[in-house]
């Protein structure tokens, strides 16, 4: 009962009404590596850390969702290399390395757990499974290589030895070996599906068949002196003990092959091999490449601009005077200009009309730039002083005043349009988008995609820059989209969404009521009670770990030396991508302390906890109506949970 035949459907008929919008939607909207398929390689832009991954050393590539791990690993794969080298079969022999990509499939590895057998038995089963999987991966590569660049075949005695190692029976050539591995997997599948019956005979020794196979492959003429990479993506999907199994392979890999691992921050939970005393350490055992910390803001800006500009150039037909520089398409907005758009003129007219100020003060303020005049009044209110007093202070210490103004100017913008409808704060410009993305290329592409599509839908073109309000609206929508998606990202998704809604509201109110307080507070440290037994420590730590892993929060190391898997010694910040949605500062600035039980309270009892946290910061939530875009969550903020 097919409603539609995919091949007959007009593509994307409601999402993008013009071919250009459709192309934009594909080039920028397909921000997940898996959506781009083959085009992934054509659009690949080499990040600065890429050369490090090409070395024969084991590497662990750490980065949040959307930082480009999959893209990079797939571009290291033989399929990627082939595409990147122009699909020339002749060149295959010249490659210095051959990468084989393997994504850890949760749905498969999760079959290897349960109470029916002991963990030690699961380890044996899983070790055998990994042997089968990786051997099949290598055999697939050999078949592919023979097809594109024929060379020597595996020797009969090698095939026999590999077959014996896998308990596959007699195998004399690659083809037989491939069939044997597939048959073994089918039999093994049935055995795992009936694990309680313990039909496990002939399990291979962990790593042994792989070593034998790789030794044989490396001895082939066409691969002499070459290195083979196993590119294991989404390492976090392994169970803890499974990570130990694969860690063991990584630690004891043969000479001709190595592992490149892609994992989310905090996703590498076990650092030991199956020998509990054998810890994997960097740089002794592997090179750790932490994507976000490797890319400085400037590096990321350059990299992201290259990624976006390459996409812009692919749009056909190009409009006349098309702008190919994304930073020009997305102009920034200065603070004075922003104040103007936020209605500073109306504020000044109302302030004058209120007759709260004397003629002299009005005259002096009239001489100042509007935002500075606003700041004088803002400062006077926060310090419970008269405007005249503040103006005198200013006149008496212009340097001190300039510093203060510089510190608070940006923060003061958040209160200018407090409680009013429409845009309350602008988030526009390439540098701002770079900060919102915080090193995450997927977020950046989403921001650009939403901005450009909305721009075109509003009658703009790619030869004109995107207005600031459209950029801001796009940034809010991207924040909202990622907030709503958070619920589906992990098993703790609902809790993460609630945590974020709670924190977002706290920082939004603090941003709006910043007068008299430290400006731009948007980070926090978590204070755990002294008595660990009385605390909800485990739940809080799990929540924080998941929040960091799924990019609800960013974390930064303090001054202490820590175990990277620890959660306590870090400072946290709501990911800046959510700042436009909640309306607080996206810049990494000042921090506050939140108690562990308050953090849980934001999830379980948001209304009361938000009020409690804000009270401890001398703010009042009831004074602050929800911004328009948060109205959708009114029920959440009004409720107990």
Partner 1 sequence: MRAVRERPIYSEIFQQFDEFRPHTGAVYVHGESLEERSRHSVQWESASPTVKFGRVSDQQPTSFQLQLGGNAYRVQVRSAQQLRALWTNVAVKVVYIDITGLDHSTWAPLLISALSFGLDVRAVYVEPLEYAYSKTPTEGDIFDLSERIRGVAPVPGLATLVDAYAESIFVPLLGFEGTRLAYVLEQVQPSGDSIVPVIGVPGFRPEYPFHTYLGNRASLSTTRAWHHVMYARANCPFSLWYVLGDIAERWPGKVLKVAPIGTKPHGLGAVLYWMTAPGSVEIVYDHPVRKSDRTAGASRTSVYYISDLFAGTPVPRFQNVPSS
Q: For residue 167, state whether it binds partner 1 (rule: CB under 8 A).
A: no
Choose, by CB under 8 A, the member of 123, 154, 192, 600 that binds partner 1: 192
Choose, by CB under 8 A, the member of 189, 346, 366, 566 that binds partner 1: 189
Beta carbons within 8 Å of 459's beta carbon, 6+ residues apart: none
Residue 376 three-state SS: helix
Give the nearest distance from C-beta 509 to partner 1 in angstroms: 21
Q: Which residue lies nearer to partner 1 by CB, 271 or 481? A: 481
Q: Which residue lies nearer to partner 1 by CB, 201 or 384? A: 201
Give the nearest distance from C-beta 93 to partner 1 in angstroms: 23
CA distances from 55 to 51, 52, 225, 239, 308 (A): 7, 6, 13, 28, 28
Number of C-beta neighbours around residue 62 at 10 A: 24
Q: For residue 110, state whether it binds partner 1 (rule: CB under 8 A).
A: yes
Q: For residue 34, state whether it binds partner 1 (rule: CB under 8 A).
A: yes
Compute φ and ψ for 561, nearest 5 degrees.
Answer: -80, 130
Q: Please compute, for residue 396, the number of CA atoms within 13 A of its CA located in the half-sphere on the CB side.
A: 6
Nearest-10 crossing angle of helices 370-383, 344-353: 60
Instruction: List alpha helices for 417-492, DSSP H.
Output: 430-437, 441-457, 468-489
Give the nearest distance from C-beta 505 to partner 1 in angstroms: 15
Give the nearest distance from C-beta 187 to partner 1 in angstroms: 7
Q: Which residue lies nearer to partner 1 by CB, 246 or 511? A: 246
Q: For residue 37, state whether it binds partner 1 (rule: CB under 8 A).
A: yes
Give the nearest distance from C-beta 273 to partner 1 in angstroms: 24
Q: Which stretch binds partner 1 (CB under 8 A): 32-40, 252-260, 272-280, 301-309?
A: 32-40
Binding mask 443-482 for partner 1 (x = CB under 8 A): --------------------------------------x-
Residue the block writes with tokens 């924040």:
479
Decide the pairing of beta strands 59-62 and 553-557. Answer: unpaired
Give the nearest distance from C-beta 258 to partner 1 in angstroms: 21
Query: Which sign, positive or negative, has the C-alpha torsion 443, 444, 445, 448?
Result: positive
Q: Which residue lies nearer to partner 1 by CB, 117 or 310? A: 117
Q: Cα–Cα distance between 49 and 370 in angstroms, integer?
A: 45
Task: Name which of 82, 80, 87, 181 is nearest 137 in CA terms.
Answer: 181
- The answer to whether residues 15 and 25 touch, using CB atoms and an 8 Å cutoff, is yes
Q: For residue 632, state whether it binds partner 1 (rule: CB under 8 A).
A: yes
Beta carbons within 8 Å of 338's beta carbon, 6+ residues apart: 413, 425, 426, 468
Task: Name which of 288, 246, 317 is nearest 23 in CA terms.
Answer: 317
Q: Which residue lies nearer to partner 1 by CB, 511 or 551? A: 551
Choose, by CB under 8 A, the member of 142, 180, 195, 454 that binds partner 1: 195
Q: Which stretch binds partner 1 (CB under 8 A): 187-195, 286-294, 460-468, 599-607?
A: 187-195
Structure-token pair, residue 477: 């929508």
Strand ranges of the sheet holding 227-233, from the earlier edge strand across to the other edge: 97-103, 227-233, 257-263, 59-62, 287-290
Q: Cα–Cα distance between 290 and 149 in angstroms, integer?
A: 35
Q: For residue 635, state whether it binds partner 1 (rule: CB under 8 A).
A: yes
Choose, by CB under 8 A, the member of 87, 170, 186, 350 that binds partner 1: 186
Binding mask 111-140 for partner 1 (x = CB under 8 A): x-xxxx------------x---x--xx--x
Give the nearest distance from C-beta 639 to partner 1 in angstroms: 7
Give the nearest distance from C-beta 422 to partner 1 in angstroms: 22
Choose, by CB under 8 A, the member of 17, 18, 48, 106 that binds partner 1: 106
Give the nearest distance from C-beta 495 to partner 1 in angstroms: 9
Helix-, strand-, coil-residue percentages of the chain, each rounded to 5: 55, 10, 35
Q: For residue 633, state whether it binds partner 1 (rule: CB under 8 A).
A: yes
Cis peptide before 317 (omega within 30 of 0): yes
Choose, by CB under 8 A, the member of 350, 494, 616, 631 that binds partner 1: 494
Give the nearest distance from C-beta 265 to partner 1 in angstroms: 17
Structure-token pair, residue 397: 């210490």
Choose, by CB under 8 A, the member of 194, 224, 457, 458 that binds partner 1: 194
Q: Which stretch binds partner 1 (CB under 8 A): 33-41, 240-248, 380-388, 605-613?
A: 33-41
Q: How many residues bind partner 1 (CB under 8 A)?
A: 61
Structure-token pair, residue 506: 């706290």
Q: For residue 2, state whether it binds partner 1 (rule: CB under 8 A).
A: yes
Q: What DSSP designation does 77 have?
A: B
Beta carbons within 8 Å of 232's beta carbon, 6+ residues apart: 102, 104, 246, 259, 260, 261, 262
Q: Cα–Cα distance between 416 and 191 in angstroms, integer?
A: 67
Q: Which residue lies nearer to partner 1 by CB, 110 or 395? A: 110
Choose, by CB under 8 A, the member of 188, 235, 238, 524 that binds partner 1: 188
User: In angstroms, how far apart are the furthest CA atoms of the chain?
Assistant: 101
Decide the pairing of beta strands 287-290 and 59-62. Answer: parallel
Q: For residue 199, state whether it binds partner 1 (rule: CB under 8 A).
A: yes
Q: For residue 631, state whether it binds partner 1 (rule: CB under 8 A).
A: no
Judged by the rule CB under 8 A, the positions of this chain that interact with partner 1 are 1-4, 6, 9, 11-12, 15, 30, 32, 34-37, 103, 105-108, 110-111, 113-116, 129, 133, 136-137, 140, 182, 185-197, 199, 481, 484-485, 487-491, 493-494, 632-633, 635-636, 639
């Amino acid at each position: 009962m097919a409603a539609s035949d995919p091949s007959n459907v007009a593509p994307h008929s409601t999402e993008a009404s013009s071919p250009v919008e459709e192309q934009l939607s594909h080039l920028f909207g397909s921000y997940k590596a898996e959506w781009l398929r083959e085009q992934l390689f054509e659009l690949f832009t080499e990040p600065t850390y890429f050369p490090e991954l090409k070395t024969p050393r084991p590497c662990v590539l750490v980065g949040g969702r959307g930082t480009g791990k999959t893209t990079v690993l797939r571009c290291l794969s033989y399929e990627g290399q082939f595409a990147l080298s122009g699909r020339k079969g002749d060149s295959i022999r010249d490659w210095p390395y051959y990468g084989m990509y393997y994504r850890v499939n949760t749905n498969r590895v999760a079959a290897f757990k349960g109470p029916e057998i002991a963990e030690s038995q699961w380890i044996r089963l899983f070790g055998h499974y990994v042997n089968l999987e990786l051997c099949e991966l290598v055999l697939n590569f050999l078949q592919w290589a023979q097809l594109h660049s024929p060379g020597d075949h595996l020797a009969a005695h090698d095939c026999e030895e590999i077959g014996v190692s896998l308990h596959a029976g007699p195998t004399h050539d690659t083809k037989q070996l491939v069939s044997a591995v597939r048959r073994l997997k089918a039999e093994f599948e049935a055995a795992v599906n009936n694990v309680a019956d313990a039909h496990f005979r002939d399990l291979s020794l962990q790593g042994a068949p792989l070593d034998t196979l790789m030794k044989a492959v490396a001895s082939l003429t066409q691969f002499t002196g070459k290195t083979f990479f196993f590119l294991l993506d989404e390492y976090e999907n392994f169970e803890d003990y499974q990570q130990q199994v694969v860690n063991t392979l990584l630690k004891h890999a043969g000479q001709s092959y190595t592992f490149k691992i892609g994992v989310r921050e905090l996703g590498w939970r076990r650092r030991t091999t199956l020998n509990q005393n054998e810890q994997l350490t960097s740089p002794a055992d592997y090179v750790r490449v932490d994507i976000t910390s490797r890319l400085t803001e400037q590096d990321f800006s350059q990299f992201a601009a290259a990624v976006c500009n390459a996409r812009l150039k692919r749009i056909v037909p190009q409009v006349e005077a098309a702008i190919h520089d994304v930073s020009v398409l997305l102009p920034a907005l200065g603070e004075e200009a922003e104040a103007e758009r936020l209605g500073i003129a109306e504020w000044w007219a109302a302030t004058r009309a209120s007759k709260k100020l004397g003629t002299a003060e009005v005259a002096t303020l009239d001489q100042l730039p509007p935002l500075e005049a606003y700041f004088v009044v803002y400062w006077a209110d926060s310090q419970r002083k008269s405007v005249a007093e503040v103006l005198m202070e200013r006149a008496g210490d212009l340097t001190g005043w300039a510093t203060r103004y510089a510190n608070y100017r940006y923060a003061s913008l958040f209160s200018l349009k407090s409680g009013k409808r429409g845009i309350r704060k602008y988030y526009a410009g390439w540098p701002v988008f770079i900060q919102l993305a915080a090193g995450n290329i997927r977020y950046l592409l989403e921001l650009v995609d939403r901005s450009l599509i909305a721009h075109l839908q509003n009658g703009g073109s790619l030869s004109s820059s995107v207005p600031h309000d459209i950029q801001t609206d796009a940034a809010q929508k991207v924040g909202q989209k990622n907030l709503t998606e958070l619920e589906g990202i992990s098993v703790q998704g609902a809790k993460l969404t609630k945590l974020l809604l709670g924190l977002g509201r706290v920082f939004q109110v603090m941003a709006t009521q910043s007068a008299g307080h430290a400006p731009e507070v948007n980070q926090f440290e978590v204070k755990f009670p002294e008595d660990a037994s009385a605390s909800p420590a485990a739940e809080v730590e799990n929540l924080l770990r998941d929040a960091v892993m799924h990019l609800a929060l960013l974390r930064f190391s303090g001054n202490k030396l820590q175990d990277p898997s620890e959660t306590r010694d870090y400072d946290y910040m709501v990911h800046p991508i959510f700042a436009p949605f909640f309306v607080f500062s996206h810049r990494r600035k000042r921090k506050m302390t939140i108690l562990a039980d308050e953090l849980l309270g934001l999830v379980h009892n948001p209304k009361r906890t938000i009020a409690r946290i804000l009270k401890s910061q001398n703010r009042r939530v009831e004074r602050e109506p929800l911004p328009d875009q948060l109205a959708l969550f009114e029920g959440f903020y009004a409720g107990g949970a």
